[in-house]
Chain A
Amino acid sequence: MTRLALLLALSTGLSAQSLAIRAETLHTAAGPAIKDGVVLIQDGKISAVGRAADVKVPSGINVRRVKVATPGLVDGRSTVGLSGLLNQPHDQDQLEASAPLQPELRAMDAYNGRDPLVAYLRSLGITTVHTGHGPGALISGQTFVVKTDATEVTRGVLKAQAMVAATLGDGARAREAGKAPGTRAKQIAMLRGELVGAQEYARKLKDAEKGKEPSRDLRKETLVQVLRKELPLLATAHRAQDILSLLRLAKEFDLEIVLDGGAEAYLVLDELKAAKVTVVLHPTMARAGGETENLSLETAAKLHAAGIPFTFQSGFEGYVPKTRVVLWEGAMAAANGLAFDDALQALTLAPAKLLGVADRVGSLEKGKDGDVALFDGDPFEFTTHCVGTIINGVLASDGEETRER
């Protein structure tokens, strides 16, 4: 209750959706850091960014002073809102296990913006999240892009359909004996069969006389979107062999592929680069075991050096904890060979571009949404706090639970 009261008190002190942030260090993700910088937000949008000496803040607009400000963080891949706080069936909607291929499942139809994990990520500076169906089935469903202050799915959606989530390798193996897919080769055979079926469906639709079109097939419709590159295939694969299978499949059907995970991506850098694939890198905090046993803290640095676009992610966690925190994934990469600015890019503008929402979020630039994360020190230090998260010019979180209560 006190927390709510505080939040209200803080919010009412600001004119709605308009405020200025004055930061000792302002990271815009659109250029070098600005010492003593100001972001001016008016009516929810950024109206000016620059040195404090150069940005005139109109009277009546509150100025929040802070040590460090960055663009609101963009989480490259999560399942929050679908995989709820509790490992109880009623709270887990990221995976429908009844069939291996269900591309027609839409993220919006399951998203709970009031789940505590969404608020938790928001309190750590994450303002936009790419979330939806998880790994664990050959094709588990779709993902979407939403702001983390959107308590209801009717608000704050940046992209209703973002990608179609697939999984290769052990994670997609049928859990019952005698059920498909039981092997890696079967997985690719099934995907190939589905895509061929979707190609035929698209052809029939195109060739049919008016009134004689085939009956609607929602599953195939989604795959046709994938074939038309309207929706990338977001494929979770960790082992080098699975990554290469994915690249073969992408070539065979001319798909746009996004590699999710990629524990062994460092073994196939040349192939990834040639295929122009973006990598949504696994959380390094995830346990190194099973198919991720060979994960490396230095993969981000290696992808960067190879010129392969990548982003970080909070990811999916099936046990304890229930989510990683994309901010700390960037931190681990920055501590293991990736430059600070490059790590920040992979938390902001790079995922915004990958998701096709860079016109709205991902950097502090005039005309973009007023989404800003505030810190009392180097954002990557574990001892630093996120002291405020601003979305569309409104204080959406007044800091971490560690600072309150």
Chain B
Amino acid sequence: MTLTLALGPLCAQDKPQAFVGARIIPIEGPEIENGVLVVHGGKVLAVGGAGTAIPADAVRHDAKGKVIMPGLVDTHSHIGSPEGADSSAPIQPDVRVSDSLNLRSASVMKARAGGITSVNVMPGSGHLLSGQTMYLKLRDGETLDALAMGKLPNGSYLGGMKMANGTNPRRPTGTFPGTRAKSAALVREQFVKAQEYQRKVREAGDDAKKRPARDLAMEALVEVLEGKRVVHHHTHRHDDILTVLRLSKEFGFKVVLHHLSEGWRVADEIAKSGMGASVIVIDSPGGKLEARDLRMTTGPALEKAGVPLVFHTDDPITDSRWFLRSAALAVRAGMSRKGALEAMTLNGARLLDLSARTGSLKAGKDADFLLLSGDPLSVYSHVEQTWVEGAKVFDRSDPKQRLYAVGGFGASHDTDDLTHLMALEAEETYQ
């Protein structure tokens, strides 16, 4: 990717870029026919109708017939081959997913091809608490620092905390829970410990001698208690969802509920809690027991109840490249178009506490946007270009990048594995 992308946009970046003639869906504000988007220095300079002022030195892009919308925000993904906690314990808050990521993975390029510009990369759900997640901006880069959204004061990357209940963290062996009540009890025990640790640290103040010995797991849980880390909680069944809400209330931590196969059953309770919901939209119900009653109506039910709602890929459970399908299927199930598009963009940014920077096209925000060949809810539309902070990170017209969008030989290989690019050239002779 770096090979092809580094050359194009870099030199153009110091000049304003104007995209003229597209239908613009800014998310904040009504859709604009024949609109103009101007970006400069990585930020949105202006969004508006045909009369919008375009700086004289701007590079103009004819976007007639295209649709422009904000880059998609995926609140739950496993791109970049993330790993978190190991099998030694069910709760491991000190483990950071950032210490495992392979950002050269083809899955990262596929996410760009799917129009995803911000993503919460998480460890798995086989633990009550499997570690710290990392928020990435999918800029053109392959290192943690190049893609990070920021850092907390202790040097850890900006992200949340991954938790899970229900059947996934249950294991017959070791220190893992065997029942739902035990799952909650183990979590409660750790948060009580964290509260005590937090109190000791506070009481010690500046007195180094009184301070408890550093405990990295407790430090991370204190970040959760203090709202510096949002809990991203895997939870499917109606009763499991309510258990998460009880624990969140008991300890006062902020949570985003993830997956929510049975969210439609407890929409009002979720709304009352004020917490956000991150929903997976998938072809069919079933499989694991807790997804038995999965319905596409969860989206509309939560929208109706007034829950802050987003969708996610859970890549590889659903592929990043057809993330937009989630919105279309939710509309099929009864959601409003506006709500469904917000759920792909601004609401996600809000639930990750990043909405000041991304999630809508508004002057001053990061220039994260997509050029689509048609309406975002149509199966026939393709993401033609993905831009992050004013730089193009995916272009479907480049055959080597198109490979990641449509698949083909080598499409799942790491982006710096050149053998597949050579194979692609060989394959072109077949076509």
A positions within 8 Å CB-CB of B: 84-88, 116-117, 120, 264, 266-267, 269, 284-285, 287-289, 293-298, 302, 317, 319-325, 328, 331-332, 334-336, 380-385, 400-403, 405
Q: Are B407 and A294 in contact, CB atoms less than 8 angstroms apart?
A: yes
Given contacts A87-B287, A322-B287, contact A294 B379 (CB under 8 A): no
CB proximity of A182 to chain B, nearest CB, Å:
25
Question: At the interface, yes or no: B283 with Cβ under 8 Å from chain A?
Answer: yes
Instruction: For chain B, residues 317 to 338, give those with C-beta under 8 angstroms from any C-beta of chain A.
Output: 317, 319, 322, 325, 328-329, 331-334
List 18 interface pairs A-B (beta carbons < 8 Å), by A numbering.
Answer: A84-B286, A88-B289, A116-B285, A269-B430, A285-B322, A320-B286, A322-B284, A323-B286, A324-B283, A324-B284, A328-B283, A382-B331, A382-B332, A383-B331, A401-B296, A402-B295, A402-B334, A405-B297
Q: Are B377 and A382 in contact, CB atoms less than 8 angstroms apart?
A: yes
Contacts of B407 in A (CB 8 A): 284, 288, 294-298
Contacts of B413 in A (CB 8 A): 293
Q: Are A298 and B284 in contact, CB atoms less than 8 angstroms apart?
A: no
CB proximity of B106 to chain A, nearest CB, Å:
9
Q: Are A380 and B332 in contact, CB atoms less than 8 angstroms apart?
A: no
Q: Are A382 and B329 in contact, CB atoms less than 8 angstroms apart?
A: yes
Contacts of B377 in A (CB 8 A): 381-383
Top 10 nearest A-B pairs (CB, nearest first) are A382-B328, A320-B287, A293-B412, A322-B286, A85-B286, A402-B333, A321-B284, A296-B407, A296-B408, A321-B283
Q: How many residues of B contact A (CB 8 A)?
A: 41
Per the bound structure, the CA–CA distance linking A120 and B406 in Å amounts to 28
Given contacts A87-B287, A332-B379, contact A320 B282 (CB under 8 A): yes
CB proximity of B356 to chain A, nearest CB, Å:
32
Per the bound structure, the CA–CA distance linking A381 and B332 in Å amounts to 9
Q: Are A402 and B296 in contact, CB atoms less than 8 angstroms apart?
A: yes
- Chain B binding site: helix, strand, loop or mixed by DSSP? loop
Please give 13 more A-B residue pairs, beta carbons under 8 A apart, in addition to A293-B413, A321-B284, A323-B286.
A86-B292, A117-B285, A267-B409, A289-B316, A289-B412, A323-B284, A334-B379, A381-B377, A382-B329, A382-B332, A385-B332, A401-B296, A402-B332
CB proximity of B379 to chain A, nearest CB, Å:
5
Q: Are B328 and A381 in contact, CB atoms less than 8 angstroms apart?
A: yes
Q: Are A380 and B283 in contact, CB atoms less than 8 angstroms apart?
A: no
A269: nearest residue on chain B (CB-CB)? B430
A286: nearest residue on chain B (CB-CB)? B319
Chain B positions 400 through 431: 1 when the CB is less than 8 Å from some CB of chain A, otherwise 0: 00000011111111000000000000010011
Q: Which of A289, A295, A321 contacts B282 (CB 8 A)?
A: A321
Instruction: For chain B, residues 211 to 246, give those with C-beta under 8 angstroms from any C-beta of chain A.
Output: none
Q: Which of B283, B286, B295 contacts A325 (CB 8 A)?
A: B283
Q: Which of B292, B325, B430 contacts A267 (CB 8 A)?
A: B430
Contacts of A405 in B (CB 8 A): 295, 297
Per the bound structure, the CA–CA distance linking A404 and B333 in Å amounts to 9
B295: nearest residue on chain A (CB-CB)? A401
Contacts of A323 in B (CB 8 A): 283-284, 286
- Chain A binding site: helix, strand, loop or mixed by DSSP? loop
Contacts of A325 in B (CB 8 A): 283-284
* Most chain A CB neighbours (cut-off 10 Å) among B285, B286, B296: B286
Contacts of A120 in B (CB 8 A): 284-285
Question: At the interface, yes or no: B291 with Cβ under 8 Å from chain A?
Answer: yes
Q: Are A294 and B412 in contact, CB atoms less than 8 angstroms apart?
A: yes
Contacts of B431 in A (CB 8 A): 302
CB proximity of B102 to chain A, nearest CB, Å:
15
Per the bound structure, the CA–CA distance linking A294 and B328 in Å amounts to 26
Per the bound structure, the CA–CA distance linking A267 and B431 in Å amounts to 9
Contacts of A321 in B (CB 8 A): 282-287, 291
Contacts of A297 in B (CB 8 A): 406-407
Per the bound structure, the CA–CA distance linking A390 and B431 in Å amounts to 41
Question: At the interface, yes or no: B288 with Cβ under 8 Å from chain A?
Answer: yes
CB proximity of B35 to chain A, nearest CB, Å:
23
Contacts of B411 in A (CB 8 A): 288, 293-294, 296
Given contacts A85-B292, A266-B430, contact A317 B287 (CB under 8 A): yes
Q: Are A266 and B408 in contact, CB atoms less than 8 angstroms apart?
A: yes
Per the bound structure, the CA–CA distance linking A293 and B420 in Å amounts to 12
CB proximity of A148 to chain B, nearest CB, Å:
14
CB proximity of A54 to chain B, nearest CB, Å:
32
Q: Which of B292, B380, B412 contacts A335 (CB 8 A)?
A: B380
B377: nearest residue on chain A (CB-CB)? A383
Question: At the interface, yes or no: B378 with Cβ under 8 Å from chain A?
Answer: yes
Q: Which of A88, A317, A382 contacts B325 (CB 8 A)?
A: A382
Q: Are B379 and A335 in contact, CB atoms less than 8 angstroms apart?
A: yes
Contacts of A85 in B (CB 8 A): 285-287, 292
Per the bound structure, the CA–CA distance linking A331 and B329 in Å amounts to 13
Per the bound structure, the CA–CA distance linking A118 and B239 in Å amounts to 28
CB proximity of A223 to chain B, nearest CB, Å:
33
Per the bound structure, the CA–CA distance linking A400 and B378 in Å amounts to 19
Q: Are A320 and B291 in contact, CB atoms less than 8 angstroms apart?
A: yes
Per the bound structure, the CA–CA distance linking A86 and B291 in Å amounts to 9
Per the bound structure, the CA–CA distance linking A380 and B325 in Å amounts to 12
CB proximity of A352 to chain B, nearest CB, Å:
23
Per the bound structure, the CA–CA distance linking A94 and B189 in Å amounts to 43
Q: Are B379 and A298 in contact, CB atoms less than 8 angstroms apart?
A: no
Per the bound structure, the CA–CA distance linking A401 and B332 in Å amounts to 10
Given contacts A288-B319, A380-B379, contact A117 B283 (CB under 8 A): no
CB proximity of B394 to chain A, nearest CB, Å:
16
Per the bound structure, the CA–CA distance linking A147 and B122 in Å amounts to 42
B420: nearest residue on chain A (CB-CB)? A294
B259: nearest residue on chain A (CB-CB)? A320
Given contacts A298-B408, A402-B332, contact A320 B316 (CB under 8 A): no
Contacts of A322 in B (CB 8 A): 284-287
Q: Which of B297, B380, B381 contacts A401 (CB 8 A)?
A: B297
Per the bound structure, the CA–CA distance linking A88 and B331 in Å amounts to 32
CB proximity of B421 to chain A, nearest CB, Å:
14
Contacts of B409 in A (CB 8 A): 264, 267, 294
Q: Are A319 and B288 in contact, CB atoms less than 8 angstroms apart?
A: yes
CB proximity of B414 to chain A, nearest CB, Å:
12
CB proximity of B55 to chain A, nearest CB, Å:
37
Contacts of B289 in A (CB 8 A): 86-88
Contacts of A384 in B (CB 8 A): 332
CB proximity of B287 to chain A, nearest CB, Å:
4
CB proximity of A163 to chain B, nearest CB, Å:
23
Per the bound structure, the CA–CA distance linking A120 and B285 in Å amounts to 9
Contacts of B328 in A (CB 8 A): 381-383
Chain B positions 361 through 386: 1 when the CB is less than 8 Å from some CB of chain A, otherwise 0: 00000000000000001111110000
* Most chain B CB neighbours (cut-off 10 Å) among A87, A285, A322, A380: A322
Contacts of A302 in B (CB 8 A): 431
Contacts of B282 in A (CB 8 A): 320-321
Per the bound structure, the CA–CA distance linking A328 and B380 in Å amounts to 12
Q: Are B288 and A320 in contact, CB atoms less than 8 angstroms apart?
A: yes
Contacts of A336 in B (CB 8 A): 406
Per the bound structure, the CA–CA distance linking A85 and B261 in Å amounts to 14
CB proximity of A84 to chain B, nearest CB, Å:
8
